[in-house]
Amino acid sequence: MKDYLIFLAQSHPQFRKAELESLADLNGIQVDFSNHNIEHPFLLVKLNNDEEAFKLIDRAILAKGIYELWGVGNSFDELHYNIKNNNNLNNLKEPFINSTFKFENLTFQGGKKSRDEQIKIFDNFSYLSFNGKIKMKNPDQIFTILEKYSLGNDLFPLDKPDKLYFGRQINLSARSKGIVEKYDIKKRPYFGTTSFDAELSLFTSNIAQVKKGDLIYDPFVGTGSFLVSSAEFGGITIGSDIEFLTLKGKGPNKRIKDNFDYYKDPLNYIDTLCMDFTNNAFRKNLIFGAIICDPPYGVREGVKVCGSNDENKIGRENILIDGKLAYLRRDYIQPKKMYSLDLLLDDLLQFSSERLEIGSRLCFWMPVANDEDIPTMIPQHKELELIYELVQDFYKWSRRLLVYVKRDKNYNGTTIKSENREGVNNFRERYFHKFSKASKVQ
């Protein structure tokens, strides 16, 4: 086993370990992430080889890059001492002794260095005595000095780093290659008020372990954020939503399909269907590789299902207009009635238990009000193992990314249905009555 250093992103640190674990598992890589500390920007791991390191980081969103570790120190002097005394140094150097190369310097919380300051730092590594030529553009190898600075009492970085690492770059993550900017919601042809943040959608698709050719379903598709993030990783995507107008988009060239054309992934899009999830029309033996969604919170968009509470509207299935059954006409608009998020989540778990491949994942975001000291009851189903409950905190509310794995019939997990959660997760009511002025739902 060899030592590698992962440079983590300082964004959503509470989701980083789950993403790395999911990517390791997806690639069949055994790795211990127990050193992970959400306060720390670096993570040391042991891996078999560079190929594992490359794959682990390649599509990561919450990591920046991975480096074969040559030395660590609490000061530059200590770093150089440890590199020079690394028993394995010759083996590490030998394959690259004649390669073209360059040095680079990355810092966490450190200020920007002038070119002269950087060159001075690089010159101090001359004892490595590489024979290859320095090449600034596309060198064979990049050697990186990574520095961590702590903040002083005035919250400005201290003058000297307190942790330094030196290593050979193995791979930069999808994040470092610009994927989060690529999926920026505002750059898409079609987006709306419910569009889910690009960075969060992308790492959700990673935690869902979307892979090439998997059939991915978002039952509350809205503007399709999870479809495009899953298509990026090779998923073949399909969605449904009860709101016809959402699916219709904002006019020509401003529909979900246009986002796929914009990202040059048109073949990864099957279609979106106008459908009430609780009256699901997919054939019973259609099996999905992952189900990913952001169910309606009941704040910006109501939790609605087909039907009516109005007695006069019930039992009108046989009404004819111009000799045709009204509900078969193209201009028919189905009446809708309010439903509860709790019941909808029960339906989602039941559906997922029936329609996911064994070992595949259901990932969804659930809003939770933090205003009272009541434990949050997470929905559970006996055939779905809850593997992650990850929290994104806002002021008076939070949302959780819940991740379940579909297990076979012999698995006898916990069941927690809505009747055991009633009054606990009534997010909509508490949002409007208790903390609507104090916080903002995204």
- Using an 8 Å Cβ cutoff, are 404 and 361 in contact? yes
55 binds ligand SAM (CB under 6 A): no
Distance separating alpha carbons of residues 188 and 296, to the nearest angstrom = 22
Alpha carbon distances (Å) from 428 to 16, 137, 278, 373:
29, 54, 19, 17
Q: Which residues fall within 8 angstroms of residue 145, CB to CB, at 6 or more apart? A: 79, 103, 104, 105, 106, 121, 122, 125, 164, 165, 166
Stretch that binds ligand SAM, among 80-88, 220-228, 255-263, 377-385 (CB under 6 A): 220-228
Cβ distance 240 to 273 under 8 Å?
Answer: yes
| Residue 217 C-beta: closest distance to ligand SAM, Å | 12
Amino acid at 101: F
Other C-beta atoms closer than 10 Å to the C-beta of 417 total 17
Asked if 258 interacts with ligand SAM (CB under 6 A), we say: no
Shortest Cβ distance from residue 224 to ligand SAM (Å)? 6
What part of residues 336-375 is at the interface with ligand SAM (CB under 6 A)? none
Give the closest residue to 355 by CA, choosing from 280, 409, 403, 286.
286
161 or 249: CB nearest ligand SAM: 249
- To ligand SAM, the closest distance from the beta carbon of 276 in angstroms equals 4
Residue spans of alpha helices (H) in 32-136: 50-58, 76-84, 89-93, 115-123
Select from 43, 208, 228, 305 the one that contacts ligand SAM (CB under 6 A).
305
User: Scanning residues 175 to 204, which ones bind ligand SAM (CB under 6 A)?
Assistant: 194-196
* Residue 22 or 201 with smaller CB distance to ligand SAM: 201
- Establish if 304 lies at the interface with ligand SAM (CB under 6 A): yes
Q: Does 392 help bind ligand SAM (rule: CB under 6 A)? A: no
Q: Name which of residues 23 to 52 contact ligand SAM (CB under 6 A).
A: none
Could you tell me the two tokens for 173? 């993550």
Classify 236 as helix, strand or coil. Answer: strand
- Residue placing its CB nearer to ligand SAM in the complex, 42 or 277: 277
CB of 306 to ligand SAM, least distance (A): 8
Write down the least CB distance from residue 418 to ligand SAM, Å.
15
**147 vs 294 by CB, closer to ligand SAM:** 294
Of the CA atoms within 13 Å of residue 73, those in its CB half-sphere come to 18
Cβ 259 to ligand SAM, closest distance in Å?
A: 10
Binding mask 273-302 for ligand SAM (x = CB under 6 A): ---xxx---------------x-x----x-
Neighbours of 397 (CB within 10 A): 23
220 is an interface residue for ligand SAM by CB under 6 A: yes
Can residue 241 be called a binding residue for ligand SAM (CB under 6 A)? Answer: yes
- Residue among 205, 206, 223, 352 that touches ligand SAM (CB under 6 A): 223
Least CB distance to ligand SAM at residue 427 (A): 12
Cα distance between residue 297 and residue 341, in whole Å:
7
For 109, phi and psi rounded to 5 degrees? 70, 5
Q: Which residue is nearest to ligand SAM (CB)?
A: 222
Q: How many residues bind ligand SAM (CB under 6 A)?
A: 23
Cα 379 to Cα 366: distance, rounded to the nearest angstrom: 10
**For ligand SAM, the closer CB: 103 or 226:** 226
Please enumerate, as own/partner, the contacts of 244-247 that have beta carbons within 8 Å and a separation of 24 or more. 244/274, 244/333, 246/192, 246/194, 246/222, 247/221, 247/272, 247/273, 247/274
Q: How far is the CB of 162 from ligand SAM (least distance, A)?
A: 41
- Tokens read off for 285: 């033996």
- Identity of the amino acid at 158: L
Tokens of 66: 């991975």
Identity of the residue, 72 or 303, whose beta carbon is nearer to ligand SAM in the bound complex: 303
Contact set with ligand SAM (CB under 6 A): 194-196, 219-220, 222-223, 225-226, 240-243, 246, 276-278, 294, 296, 301, 303-305
